[in-house]
Structure 1
Amino acid sequence: MATPRSAQPSSVAAPAGLPFDPSVRAADDVARELGVDPSVGLNEAEAARRLAADGPNQLRSRPPVPLWRKVLDQFRDPLVALLLVAVAISVTVWWVEGAEGVPVDAVVIAAIVVLNAVLGLVQESKAEGAVAALRSMTEASSTVLRDGRRVTARSTELVRGDVLMLTEGDAVGADARLLSATALRVQESSLTGESEAVLKDAAVLAAPAPLGDRFDMVYKGTAVAQGVGRAVVVATGMDTEMGAIAELLDATDEEVTPLQREISRVSKVLGLTVIGIAAVVMVLAAVVNDVRTASDLVTVLLLGVSLAVAAVPEGLPAILSVVLAVGVQSMARRNAVVKKLHSAETLGSASVIASDKTGTLTKNEMTIQRVFTASGEVTLTGVGYRPDGEARTGGDGVGQPLTDEQLVREVSMVLGGGSLANDAQLVERDGEWTVQGDPTEAAFLVAAHKLTGTVDRVAGFERRGEVPFTSERKMMSALVDPPGDGAWALVTKGAPDVLLPRCTEIQVGDRTVPLDEERRARALGDVERLSQQAYRTLGVAYRRVAEGLGAQGLEEHESDLVYLGVVGIIDPPRPEVAAAVAEARRAGIRVMMITGDHPVTATRIAGDLGIVEPGARAVSGTELDGLDAEGLRETTRTVSVYARVAPQNKLQIVDALQADGHVVAMTGDGVNDAPALKTADIGVAMGITGTEVTKESAKMILGDDNFATIVAAVRQGRIIFDNIKKFLRYLLSSNMGEVFTVLLGVVLAGVVGLEGAAGGEAVVVPLLATQILWINLVTDSGPALAMGVDPETDDVMARPPRGINDRIIDARMWTGVLTIGFVMGVATLLTIDIFLPGGLVEGTDSLTVARTAGFTTLVLAQLFNVLNSRSETTSAFHRMFTGRWLWAAIGLGLVLQIAVVQVPSSRSPSGRLASTSRTGASRSRWPRPCSGSTSSASWSGAHGIPAGWRR
């Protein structure tokens, strides 16, 4: 069988430490340059010396981030910086007022900042633990020749000049030049992205070649799928091809997430808004109240500063961290491990998912799906290595179960013959099916189980000899002895174009007939049909031979064969991926395939999954290399399948998409994916098949390697973003309600009756600082947290992703925030007016009662605003009972408000939340320098701090 070769470009420079490219030098010359006898290997002393000189055979790792740095990183958020400024201002105000009691505002805000940092540290620690749990717990080892003896050494201790002894199932520990190879196939998908194992040959290359075409080399991070070989190590550690990609990874900048950029912008806007609010309130207070004395001026300044601090949504950073942490845990339960909190929302903003093919969209398990024989065509259902499925007539798999006895026998002989001429093994452990050996050969073993009687037909056969597969022969043969007294047979499988010329007959049911020109043309047509449909093809034939035929000279008998048929093999898509792709497209997300595999195979798989229309064009890495920046951007706008690409091509594609305004999620499992994963807005690594380099560079790891998990994470990311908008809308509109209440109360003090009830105060406010602080503590924290875990209220996958320039707080949201805040402020002032003498409505109560009534009105308005803030497009009554945590928070807020107003220890002797001053003459001045004492049962109107908290 001809093995497709990767055409992806790669550097062909010599490894560091060697003055030449070993792939174009004879193996003996390479060994001589490295100072080693290939038949003996290095001695232990020389190996130790070289290890000391070159260092361990491992990739350079970043030093662990110290705890102090992790803690400091939690305070780099601009909003946290704004809160720290608020703490400083609060402490300053407290100090100016006489430094009596406890600076409650400062303590509360500082506690929130610390809580936010703790939440961030805890969640990142959990993510690091989850990533560590996904890593292999065993240390890789290699078999090497030392002092003429085979020994097992840790792969980290390999040095240049070591002679590797490679056998089936081994991991290749270092880059090495082959000395010899017998039917050696190496799985290089982690480097090249190509799913099929590459046939290796020790013969020297005629000229330098790309990485995927260096058939006389093996590389660190790959695995031996079949055969045996010996190789001399030419590069270790960072000098390997894997190390070169790691270097590229180090040079790749890591992008901040869209949410981080947006929260930074929101923090700046809030900071400017708070400063503006403070300035406006101070100017208006000074003008309206005719401030003339220095004492009154200080009062006005302190009023503006205090209101500015109250306007900051202190709980925003902590609530944001909690919401992200809850979302991250929800994703983790769905096998998506997010390493950084802010990355959780980014996937919900993704407009493009650029996915690797092998092992991500496909199962990386070669499967026989089609069988052509003389009597017809059969489709085998089921995918992967689990031997579940059946044979059905026709090429679409929807026909009837196979019952034609003649066709059954022909197909059984094809699958049975392929199972006999086979070096792979199918193994079942604890319900999981795996293969040992070449995946293409294993496909025959799996397929044989799907046709009743086939496994029994070949049971008991013993192999008496073998002619191995080579790249020149493109086929292999096995001499088999059936149980009992049956005649021996030579079973051959290989590339159909090589096998058919050796055949003179064809199997038709129980008999053989001459393979005339008509039947030969039909057989070749079957092969062509499979090739056009992106199947890899293998033909199977046999001939009877004399019993007791020796194993020597079997090649002479590989003629006059009886042709049995041809099979079509493919790495099948994961069964759940097509639905996931459809869901992504419904959500306005474009799915792209970027692979190192053949373009025909790539477009076939992409068409099957619904990524592109059947027959769509694929662009190769070579074509991408010839494009300028504008040409590359134009290509990425229209083409969704990229084949035969190199790591630098993946980076080009990601950069072009980002330059076009897309939020890009890049998935992958191989080392070659790591740089693109780091550059992408969110890199998604495979947890099972992914390499450690890939996992380190990614922001999210899939514990089940399931593409459908990505789409589920997208949904969760969108829910997170919706909930962030919900509690931002709620917090900002509620705080604006407080701002408008104080602002309009100062300006309209005479209109609503406050001025007449103030008893000559220089500055009159409708609410006390204590009351505003209570509102922030009670109505902001619980409801906002509940909104952060609110279930999906609308179908988040029914709308397109938000644009990269879309604001989390856009003009529409600001309009709603200001409108709701204004309505709250007006409602609160009207309530106060109703209770006070004078104003628009004549009342009879005191300022204490009026303030308490306004205070309660504002609390109730904000609690109703919880329901109103769940959506910008639907009313508060739409699905209003779906969030049980919301109603729990609302209920708690009501209980606490009733308690603070009615419970004796929380109210004044008058039966309402008091606003009495320390002197008794002035009841409404806020803020004011502290002096005198207060009753332990009252709330201070001068400073706004419960007397019980003051010392």
Structure 2
Amino acid sequence: MIQKNKTTLIDDYAKADPTALMNQFQTGNEGLSGAEAEKRLQKYGPNTIQQGKKRSEILVFLANFTSMMAILLWVSGIIAMFAGMMELGIAIWAVNVINGCFSYWQQHAAQKATDSLKKMLPSYVKVRRDGKSQQIQVEQLVPGDVFDIQAGDSIPADARVFNTSNLQIDESSLTGESVPVEKKADYHHGDGEFAQQNIVFAGTVSTSGTATALALATGMDTEFGRIATLTQSQKKTIYPLERELNHLTRQLTIIAIGIGVAFFLLAIFFVKYPIAKSFIFALGMIVAFIPEGLLPTVTLSLAQGTQRMAKKHALLKNLSSVETLGQTTVICSDKTGTLTQNQMTINHIWLPGKEYDVTGTGYLTNGKIQLNGKDVDLANELDLNKLLINATINNDTEVTEGKAGEKSKILGTPTEAGLVILSRKAGIDAKDERKAYPRLKELPFDSDRKLMTVITKDPSGQLFINTKGALGSELAICDRILDNGQVRPITDQDRATINQANETYSKQGLRTLAFSYRIVDGDDPLAHKSLESCTIQSAETHMIFVGLTMMSDPPRPEIFDAVKNCKRASIRIIMVTGDSPITAKSIATRIGITSDKARVISGDELDKMSDDDLQQAVKGEVIFARVAPEHKFRIVSMCQKNGDVVASTGDGVNDAPALKRADIGIAMGVTGTDVAKDAADMILTDDNFASIVSAIEEGRTVYSNLQKFLLYILTSNVPEAAPSVIFLVTRGLVPLPLTVMQILTVDLGTDLLPALGLGTEKAEPGIMDQPPRPLNSHLLNRSIIWKAFGWYGLIASVVSTAAYFYVNHVNGWPNVPLAGSGMVYAEATTITLGAIVFSQIAAAMNCRTQISSVFSIGLFSNHRILTGIVVEVVLIALLMYVPFLQGVFNTGPLNLSEWIFLFCIPVPIFLIEELRKYIVRRIKRVPKVA
């Protein structure tokens, strides 16, 4: 009995004798019997792509509550409850619950690559069962089934083809190759993987022709299924931001616990507090130094970043991937459909003695075509007219105009579609032309002779033979040439000139197609034979050479600026494509990814390279061509071993494993397969490579903004701790100027909205002129610590402490002792809280830029921050005047002079910081904002 197919057996199946292969699978031309098919269905299972083991939805949900920061908050809540501060503990837990639910909602569209694989398979297939042709559901197809393939069919299984007729298969979803490949019954192995001439693969599409096929493998045993398995087995790497937040959490935990221990010891040995009371005091300090608002602020800021990127056609599926984009150092990019437009376009025409550049030619309907920037009347260009007629009638492809904003729909091959569009640009309607030249017989293209010929009647009633194909094959059948409207014998010099032109264009990565024709007059032997007796030998002979067309899959117009911007930002682009080395290097050089000196490594060469050699290769200028799925996966892995943060683009099934392996997987939203989209972290809704650059700039801006509001949040820790320091230094003579609940008001209340506003700041000038930040850099660095604790925080501590003593002074201090309870104490702690809040108003404005003047970006340009400032003022007022809140937060009302004092605080603090930034700019000579 047959065994399940393995990848290594594909070539053996391709080489096998057809009869022997049928016998091996215990089938024949009549197909399987219904009973046998049922047995095999039970043995091999349905022809579907099985899902990988999915995590329980409950576990996915709970994972959003188990990050290091979340665990720290859970512990903080427990500590607060243990210390008798039940309201504080509940509030901290509430923050954690809200943040976790928000994160789960953002990430609910989880990876479902295997579901998408099933969607790509056809619903029905025509098989032969019990000697009859019947249609069955594709899930019921089994190895050994004989099925039919027609143009437009999706291939349901890996299969060996027989009885082919002009069969063309689009394998771009597997190989990345933009041009359909011909399939024939005879064995031939081309370049790269999936290159057996007589094997078709599941998930590919037939673009033309017909065939009978024997199913060799179904479901997960297909090459399609193998890629699915590779995708499922690859675990997603942890995002750099997640690692950084874990690192930050450890830093903050050490700081908080260190301060708590210090305050505990000082309270016992310096203030002579009882151990129990000292412990509760220290717990309060630990809670105070944990920035409870950091995690929701980070989450919401990243969410805002994803919304802004969505407006720029980049959809992020995971919040943390926003920042990772900003750290990207290498983009491994596919060519077809990513850097190029994924449509074959004629850009040059070569005729004897004439060359035409038709790049960018628009549609004309007046019998003229724009050539070399000039309108040319086709009536005066007999050679060109002959070529265009040949390209139109020797063509089986139809191109229908798409709706506004949509691409034209192609039924046939991209190469022939390019010819149809070229003729259409000259005002030639394919349908009208084919009616004027009714087709009598077709000699289909095959890879041996590399020609396609049609025999038609011209308008005068004569037989008209038109041939198109590879130049070498065309020249072999031509003994005449059309030169400036005149037919003459072709000379050796003509052949040398034609070959030289072909070589010149080939070096530019262009695909050439040659054309010839012959009119069957009375002296032609074919005029006296029936078309039924017409053979390839009798038709394709004594032809008249017309000329060449050159075509390519053109680069996207916006790609040139995008590549320049990547280089400006010190981001390398490595092209990884299934296309030919010549074409790949031509495109890469043309759009500026690499120079002419770039090394081109083919898939076969890559197979022979060790990991060390490949790791060195990806450090330099390199292009990868004719690659397989494992190759792209391996390339991404080696870049990561070099310490690069890798973004990998793609649109096909073959790209899914690499997309999942990369730090950032980027799928094309329009042309991309569902598999690629589900494996990716980011989807480009416009398939525009330039959107990646915008997304990277946004990622860098998000990281910069994360540091800005980290600075802003930590700034308040110093004035929050200062009252306790004063309490310890005075050995309790100065009552605590700030309660723990008031500290929580700053962390979770007044600070939150301005911090979120900082997350919406635009990029400062020059952010894309800098290299990506080093992998060993951290959010919390020396600069932020100094600014938060030694500058902004110190100023706020002085101001808030002064406010506390000011209220006590107005109420009789130092002549009367400092109040430790009652209305005066409530008023003193309230103005201390207010002074911290109004100092934070200045900090919010100061943190909007790192060294640029806030005036240069617009003092009132960030409406979110302004709204946050208004809200925090209203919130502090509610705490002062609502009786219930007064009792919970130990606050009291302030008089008019005290309010005036508070409103005066932000101005000098803001101006002092502006002066510092001015001095820094003078030293560093930082450019002003445009």
Give the TM-score taking structure 1 as reference length: 0.86
Q: Secondary structure at the match of 1:797?
A: coil
For residues 210 and 573 of structure 1, do their structure 2 counterparts lie closer, same or farther at Cα, with a shift above 3 Å needed? Answer: closer
Give 3-state SS (helix, strand or coil) of 2:374's partner: coil
1:746 aligns with 2:727: yes
1:428 to 392, 397, 401: 401
Distance 2:773 2:393 in 1: 56
1:143-222 map, 5 Å = 143-205=126-188, 211-222=193-204
Q: Could you tell me how far 1:219 is from its partner in structure 2?
A: 0.6
1:23-49 Cα deviation digits (max 9, x unpaired): 1101221111111112x2123332222
Residues 689-698 or 604-613, more deviating: 689-698
Letter in 2 for 1:471: S
- Name the CA distance, whole Å, in 1 between partners of 2:892 and 2:854: 30
Return 541-550 or 571-580, whichever deviates more: 541-550
- Residue of structure 1 equivalent to 2:59: 69
Equivalence map 1:31-180=2 (5 Å): 31-38=22-29, 40-94=30-84, 103-125=86-108, 140-180=123-163
Q: Cα offset for 1:611? A: 0.9
* 1:842-853 correspondence to structure 2 within 5 Å: 846-853=824-831
2: CA distance between counterparts of 1:475 and 1:384? 29
Q: Secondary structure at the match of 2:550?
A: strand
Query: What amino acid is the match of 2:270?
Result: V
CA distance in structure 2 between the partners assigned to 1:175 and 1:155 by the alignment: 13
User: Counterpart amino acid of 2:383?
Assistant: E
1:158 to 1:704, Cα distance in 2 relative to 1, 3 A = farther
Q: Does 1:254 align with 2:244?
A: no
Instruction: Give the Cα separation in 2 of the matches to 1:387 and 1:339.
Output: 47
Distance 1:747 1:452 in 2: 91
Change (3 A) 1:471 1:566: same
Distance 1:854 1:552 in 2: 105
Structure 2 residue 476 is matched with structure 1 residue 476: no
1:320-469 correspondence to structure 2 within 5 Å: 320-382=298-360, 391-393=369-371, 399-403=372-376, 408-431=381-404, 432-453=407-428, 460-469=436-445
- The one-character-per-residue Cα deviations of 1:109-135 (angstroms, maximum 9, x if unpaired) are 111111011101211225679999999
State yes or no: 1:654 paired with 2:654.
Answer: no
Structure-2 residue corresponding to 1:824:
796
* 1:877/1:851 CA distance change after superposition, 3 Å: farther
Give how far 1:841 is off: 10
Cα distance, 1:384–1:120 mapped onto 2, change above 3 Å: farther
**Alpha carbons 1:406, 1:508 under 8 Å: kept:** no
Partner letter of residue 855 of structure 1?
Answer: L
Aligned counterpart, 2:713: 731
Question: Which amino acid is the alignment partner of residue 329 of structure 1?
Answer: Q
Q: Which residue of 2 aligns with 1:945?
A: none
Shift of 1:200: 1.3
Match of 2:519 in 1: 544
Question: CA offsets, 1:837-890, max 9 Å, x none?
Answer: 599997989544433332211110012111122232234544232210100101
Q: Counterpart of 2:768 in 1: which secondary structure?
A: helix
Given the superposition, is the C-alpha separation of residues 766 and 912 from structure 1 closer, same or farther in structure 2, using an over 3 Å criterion? Answer: closer
8 Å Cα contact 2:363-2:426 kept in structure 1: no
C-alpha distance in 2 between matches for 1:798 and 1:886: 27
Give the deviation of 1:442 after TM superposition: 1.6
Deviations 1:405-450 (A, max 9, x none): 6874322321220221112111224344111112112211011111
Q: Which string of whole-angstrom CA distances, capped at 9 and with x for unpartnered residues, describes residues 334-370 of structure 1?
A: 4433222222222222111101111221222111111
How much is the aligned-residue C-alpha RMSD, in angstroms?
A: 3.2
Amino acid at match of 1:187: D
Residue 28 of structure 1 corresponds to 19
Q: Residue in 2 aligned with 1:279? A: 261
SS in structure 2 at match of 1:368: strand
Q: 1:742 to 1:778 in 2, by over 3 A?
A: same
Match of 1:890 in 2: 869
1:802 counterpart residue number: 773
Larger relative helix fraction? 2
**1:56 shift after superposition:** 1.1
CA contact (8 A) 2:881 2:893 kept: no
CA displacement at 1:475 relative to structure 2:
0.4
Contact 1:416/1:458, CA 8 A, preserved across alignment: no
Whole-Å Cα distance in 1 between the matches of residues 244 and 808 of structure 2?
A: 44
Distance 2:228 2:54 in 1: 17
Q: Deviations over 1:755-800 (max 9, x none)?
A: 2xx5xxxxx3221223222222332222122222334444543332
Q: C-alpha separation between the residues in 2 aligned to 1:613 and 1:892?
A: 56
Q: Which residue of 2 aligns with 1:934?
A: none
Unaligned runs of 5+ in 2: 522-526, 819-823, 895-930
TM-superposed CA distance for 1:223, in Å, is 1.1
Matched, 1:780 2:751: yes
2:551 to 549, 566, 569: 569
How far apart are the structure 2 equivalents of 1:136 and 1:54?
20
Q: CA deviation at 1:385?
A: 12
Q: What are the ranges of 5 or more consecutive residues in structure 1 without an aligned counterpart?
A: 1-12, 96-102, 394-398, 759-763, 916-951
Q: Which residue of 2 aligns with 1:769?
A: 740
Does 2:475 match 1:500?
A: yes
Q: Deviations over 1:203-259 (max 9, x none)?
A: 135x89953331111111111122111110011111111222223333333211101
- Alpha-carbon shift at residue 402 of structure 1 (Å): 3.9
1:593 maps to amino acid: M
User: 2: CA distance between counterparts of 1:360 and 1:386?
Assistant: 29
Following the alignment from structure 2 to structure 1, what is the Cα–Cα distance between the partners of residues 689 and 11? 42
Q: Distance in 2 between matches of 1:172 and 1:383?
A: 37
Cross-structure match for 1:524: 499
Relative to structure 1, the CA distance from residue 235 to residue 385 in structure 2 (aligned partners, 3 Å threshold; closer, same or farther) is farther
- For residue 61 of structure 1, report the CA deviation from its aligned partner: 0.8
Relative to structure 1, the CA distance from residue 840 to residue 504 in structure 2 (aligned partners, 3 Å threshold; closer, same or farther) is farther
Does the CA-based 8 Å contact 1:284-1:746 persist in structure 2? no
Match of 2:671 among 672, 685, 689: 689
Q: Aligned partners of 1:612 and 1:17: how far apart in 2?
A: 35
C-alpha distance 195-338 of structure 1, shift in aligned 2 (>3 A): same
1:127–1:337 CA contact under 8 A, matched in 2 = no
2:577 corresponds to which residue?
595
The sequence identity of aligned pairs, in percent, is: 33
**TM-score normalised by L of structure 2:** 0.88
Structure 1: how far apart are the matches of 2:23 and 2:535? 37
Report if aligned partners of 1:367, 1:385 keep a CA contact under 8 Å in 2.
Answer: no
Q: Deviations over 1:880-903 (max 9, x none)?
A: 322101001011112222343356
Alignment-derived partner of residue 783 in structure 2: 812
3-state SS in 2 of match to 1:468: strand
Question: Which of 633-642 and 541-550 deviates more?
Answer: 541-550
Q: Secondary structure at the match of 1:125?
A: coil
1:161-200: per-residue Cα shift (whole Å, max 9, x none)? 1112111111111000112211212111222222221111
Distance 1:492 1:840 in 2: 108
Separation of aligned partners in 2, 1:402 and 1:838:
91
Partners of 2:290 and 2:624 lie apart in 1 by 49
